Amino acid sequence: MDIQTLSHYVLGPVRLWTVDREEPSQYIEVRDGRIQKISGQPPSDTSIPKIDGKNFVLMPAGVDAQVHLRVPGQEHKETAETGLMAAVKGGYAAILTMPNTKPVIDNVKVLKEAMDSVRTYEERFGVRVFWTAAITENLSSSKVTPIEDLAKAGIKALTNDGLGVLSDEVMEESFKRLAPLGIPLLQHAEFLGHGGSLAPSSVQESLKVKPYPESAEIDMVVRDLKVLKKCPEARYHILHITSGKVVPLVREAREQGLKVTCEVTPHHLYFSGEDIDPKNTSFKMNPPLRSPEDRQLLWEGLENGDVDFVSTDHAPHEPLVKSGSFDEVAFGTLGLETTLGVLTWGYREGKLSRRRWVEVFSLKPAQFLGLDSSYGDLQVGQEIRGILFDLEAPDHLIQEKDFSSLSKNSCFIGSHLPGKLIKSFLGSKVISCE
């Protein structure tokens, strides 16, 4: 990875992709990190340094609304440096990090220390880190965290990600306190007690591991929507949905006027439970891969807008906790560096339109987090946050050695994904990603 700081340059020709535009042979003039001009003709001033776009696609860089950066206290899994390097390699301009760290981000002191610890790497790579805090103290008590103070300190959302909130009373109190702040509650929808590792499938049966039922997800979503009706001004977001039966629940709740959103991960779009490699424990994630029919319903929901956007649930783990049987190992797989390949595959297969690709990768999560308009778009006058992408690049083998993440627990290792990220343009930084 090569990082340059350029004050003035022209990028072109490129195929410009935004939600509203698809234009060939465009030239983008950038000065001091901001887009000065977009034109179908190269500038007449030949002294301006030029970056050959080779007619690759230039599109808005991604925004990932669910990342386990593992900061603070879990730097044996991921560091701020390796995590943001992985984000750049995945085409992202911003990430939202989860609070299930050591210590848990459940108070302003821990939050501010964590924010301070990543600033050097934000500046180096040009990727912004946005923050969440826990709903309950230490993720386990029934005492709700100091929401108002955390909001003032800059959090974008509240979540106990990794654990579902079991208490109706805690959910209702959280909704009531979050509603006037406009901050969403992100729910890991899972009622505990099932003890399962993999969703029911032929692979799960052959491995003789306990099944993880879809009812654990569906029942919590149903419960949450009932509680939400008591506080309809609150924002409720369902993390990493896996069951196709959740999609109509979300649609119906919106029709009733509730502020409900949801997301899906790349691995739940690309794999089903029948695709699990019994030798790769990175296929154990929470929630699990479900049926081919569920997978198809998730694609359909993503394309028609019932599913709002794609988030990776990037969950790095060291080899020790991913070694053993599927019943024994930790949940979690990497995600940041393989999303573009999955979306390219979905686009080629006709599962995802060009417009929705830009929305689900960039614009919609940016809007969800309330980021400024330079995230999710490419417009004159804005700071540039874009990626140059070879849409026609052939399928390439995903190998462990290719990951920038400190951990290497990816369920995509051994798969072949299309497309290739060439460069990222993040403000004044031009980063070669080949």
Active site residues: 313
**CA nearest neighbour of 8 among 60, 47, 65:** 47
**Any idea of the CA torsion for 252, 255, 260, 261, to the nearest 10 degrees?**
80
CA gap 414, 166 in Å, rounded: 37
**CA nearest neighbour of 402 among 156, 55, 90:** 90
Q: Are 175 and 236 in contact (CB under 8 A)?
A: yes
In angstroms and rounded to an integer, the radius of gyration of the C-alpha atoms of the chain is 21
Query: Which positions ≥6 away from 373 have C-beta within 8 Å?
Result: 379, 382
Q: Are 312 and 391 in contact (CB under 8 A)?
A: no
**CA nearest neighbour of 347 among 358, 362, 335, 363:** 358
What is residue 319's DSSP assignment?
G
**Widest distance between CA atoms in the chain:** 68
**CA nearest neighbour of 403 among 287, 277, 317, 275:** 317
* Residue 408: alpha-carbon gap to chain centroid: 18
